[in-house]
């Protein structure tokens, strides 16, 4: 058995413990990946508070990147030494959802009932699961062959790590789901790490105006630096988008914030027959109340998205090319680098909205 260090969440709202654990034996269809970089996602603040159904002891971190160090006996197409992106969603290729072209809903993740695979054992004998089937807050990940995607690029590890969640969700929401077209007016509700990628993607898609909506002044400033033509507070959003559209509202609205109020605002600032894409989540038991006339009578398309509806084998190479040529800029979004031992500090900074993407570097 192989020993590694991991940040283990032993109980909700208890500090992470960085400890040495023993990896379980590698199953024939799984892969060991030496972690190189993992972003701390704001979703894991929610998981820390016990609002997303995780079961401690667990290793959080649902998107990552690294180098393959061992493959199971039945693994094909992945070799030791390859760089891989490990996203938050597998693509098994044979379940119902993969079969209809929707691997973002792959049964290998969504039909396991939240019972994530055990990947390690603590020194006191407890089995530890990998949240999201990844477990990226650890030196080594034990993942399904369907959740490790080889890449050929010289992009830095920190940038590659964002391709499993932030980039795919934000860019995919714009290009795959909203399908923004040239000359449209786009609003992005939430200028965190996902929203800022959506702002950049809307600009690339040719949007005439991109309005970023966020209560934090610093995040509005960053949104403007990466392509937003306006950045406003939530209370000013309706007036802003109507002022750009002769009173109609935005053609496409991307919600990338999470709170129910943000999702309601996304609907309210869209135009009749417009498109609203919802991607945020703050509580697994949360509910959203929406006004019935805009929802049922005004012919809006209200769509949810998970991981930007990406197909990793198709979209990952395209997003890498955009990053390589500078069409997508990670510099303003990677706001800090951390060691694994810093995890409780990283958690606190994320909860206080001081980081956009803080990345653990191994």
Output the CA angle 92-98-104, nearest 5 degrees: 90
pLDDT for 1 equals: 64
Q: How many CA atoms lie within 13 A of 106 on its CB side?
A: 23
Q: Is 75:306 a contact under the CB 8 Å cutoff?
A: no
CA end-to-end distance (rounded Å), the chain: 21
Distance (Å, whole) CA 33 – CA 41 = 20
Give the model confidence (pLDDT) of 166-202 as tens digits: 999 999 999 999 999 999 999 999 999 999 999 999 9
Which residues have a Cβ under 8 Å from the Cβ of 76 and sit 6 or more positions away? 145
pLDDT for 284 equals: 83
pLDDT for 258 equals: 92
Global pTM reads 0.95
Distance (Å, whole) CA 248 – CA 198 = 22
Give the model confidence (pLDDT) of 238-249 as tens digits: 999 999 999 999
Q: Are strands 140-144 and 270-278 parallel, antiparallel or unpaired?
A: unpaired
Q: Is 33:80 a contact under the CB 8 Å cutoff?
A: no
Distance (Å, whole) CA 293 – CA 343 = 45
Query: Which residues are 275's β-sheet partners?
Result: 252, 301
Q: Is 172:309 a contact under the CB 8 Å cutoff?
A: yes
User: What mean pLDDT is predicted for residues 250-278?
Assistant: 97
What is the SS3 string spanning 162-225? HHHCHHHHHHHHHHHHHCCCCCCEEEEECCCHHHHHHHHHHHHCCCCEEEEECCCHHHHHHHHH
Give the model confidence (pLDDT) of 327-343 as tens digits: 999 999 999 999 999 99
CA 263 to chain centre: 17
pLDDT higher than threshold 80 for residue 344: yes
pLDDT for 241 equals: 98
pLDDT for 53 equals: 87
In the chain, which segments carry CATH 3.40.50.720?
A: 169-306
Mean pLDDT for the chain?
96
pLDDT for 285 equals: 85
Distance (Å, whole) CA 63 – CA 324 = 20
In the chain, which segments carry CATH 3.90.180.10?
A: 3-150+332-361
Q: Per this entry, what is the length of the chain?
A: 362
User: What mean pLDDT is predicted for residues 64-81?
Assistant: 97
pLDDT for 76 equals: 95
pLDDT for 282 equals: 87
Architecture of the 3-150+332-361 domain: Alpha-Beta Complex (3.90)
Which residues have a Cβ under 8 Å from the Cβ of 306 and sit 6 or more positions away? 89, 104, 105, 279
- DSSP string covering 331-342: TTTEEEEE-GGG
Distance (Å, whole) CA 109 – CA 107 = 5
User: What mean pLDDT is predicted for residues 300-304?
Assistant: 97
Tokens representing residue 259 in the block: 């709170």
pLDDT higher than threshold 90 for residue 349: yes
**Does 169-306 carry CATH code 1.10.10.370?**
no
Q: What percent of the chain lies above the pLDDT cut of 70?
A: 100
Give the model confidence (pLDDT) of 125-158 as tens digits: 999 999 999 999 999 999 999 999 999 999 999 9
Q: Is 147:53 a contact under the CB 8 Å cutoff?
A: no
Collapsed DSSP state (helix, strand, coil) of residue 36: strand
Q: Is 24:32 a contact under the CB 8 Å cutoff?
A: no
């Amino acid at each position: 058995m192989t020993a590694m260090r991991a940040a283990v969440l032993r109980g909700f709202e208890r500090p992470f413990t960085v400890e040495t654990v023993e990896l379980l034996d590698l199953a024939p269809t799984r892969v060991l990946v030496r972690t190189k970089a993992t972003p701390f996602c704001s979703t894991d603040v929610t998981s820390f508070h016990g609002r997303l159904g995780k079961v401690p002891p667990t290793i959080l971190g649902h998107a990552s990147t690294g180098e393959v160090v061992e493959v199971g006996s039945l693994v094909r197409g992945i070799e030791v030494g390859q760089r891989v992106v490990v996203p938050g969603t597998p693509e098994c290729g044979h379940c119902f959802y993969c079969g209809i072209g929707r691997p973002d809903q792959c049964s290998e993740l969504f039909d396991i009932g939240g019972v994530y695979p055990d990947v390690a054992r603590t020194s006191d004998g407890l089995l530890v699961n990998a949240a999201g089937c990844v477990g990226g807050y650890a030196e080594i990940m034990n993942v399904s062959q369907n959740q490790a995607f080889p890449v050929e690029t010289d992009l830095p590890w920190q940038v590659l790590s964002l391709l499993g969640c932030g980039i795919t969700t934000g860019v995919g929401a714009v290009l795959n789901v909203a399908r923004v077209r040239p000359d449209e007016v786009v609003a992005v509700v939430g200028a965190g790490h996902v929203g800022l990628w959506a702002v950049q993607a809307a600009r690339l898609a040719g949007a005439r105006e991109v309005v970023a909506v966020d209560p934090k002044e610093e995040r509005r400033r960053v949104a403007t630096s990466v392509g937003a033509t306006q950045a406003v507070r939530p209370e000013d959003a309706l007036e802003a988008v109507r002022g750009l559209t002769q009173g109609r509202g935005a053609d496409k609205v991307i919600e990338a914030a999470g709170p129910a109020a943000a999702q309601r605002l996304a609907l309210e600032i869209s135009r009749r027959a417009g498109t609203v894409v919802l991607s945020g989540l703050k509580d697994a038991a949360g509910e959203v109340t929406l006004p019935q006339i805009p929802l049922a009578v005004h012919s809006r398309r209200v769509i949810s998205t998970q991981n930007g509806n990406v197909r990793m084998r198709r979209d990952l190479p395209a997003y890498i090319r955009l990053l390589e040529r500078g069409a997508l800029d990670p510099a303003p979004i990677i706001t800090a680098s951390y060691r694994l031992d810093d995890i409780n500090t990283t958690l606190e900074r994320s909860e206080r909205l001081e980081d956009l993407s803080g990345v653990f570097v191994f």
